[in-house]
Amino acid sequence: MIHRKKIFIKIGDLSRVAGIPTSTIRYYNQIGVIKEAYRTPGGVRMFDRIDTLEKINMIRFINRGYTLKKIKEYLISGEGGELNEN
């Protein structure tokens, strides 16, 4: 089994990488579509770097017009590959 060292990224860095405002990321977090790994003592949301790839893919799905409900179902299912229209 390969163990990866967890590397965390701040919400602001995620915002820059994904190209969306932090307020949008906070909203997605609030409705349960994405989850933060933890918060710093100062309240900054931190995300697992590897998990961030999933979040960026989710954002791409949104930009393609998929609903948040459909994306959440896809992520919960654990399926890989492309998100189907059905």
Prediction pTM value:
0.61
pLDDT at 85: 53
pLDDT over 60 (residue 35) = yes
Judged on CB neighbours under 10 Å (0-12, 13-18, 19+), 36 is middle
pLDDT over 70 (residue 33) = yes
pLDDT over 60 (residue 9) = yes
Over residues 7-30, mean pLDDT: 85
Where does the pLDDT of residue 81 fall: very low under 50, low under 70, confident under 90, or very high at 90 and above?
Answer: low
pLDDT at 80: 56
Give Cβ neighbours of residue 11 (< 8 Å, ≥ 6 apart): 22, 25, 26, 36, 44, 45, 46, 47
Distance CA 41, CA 9 (A): 15
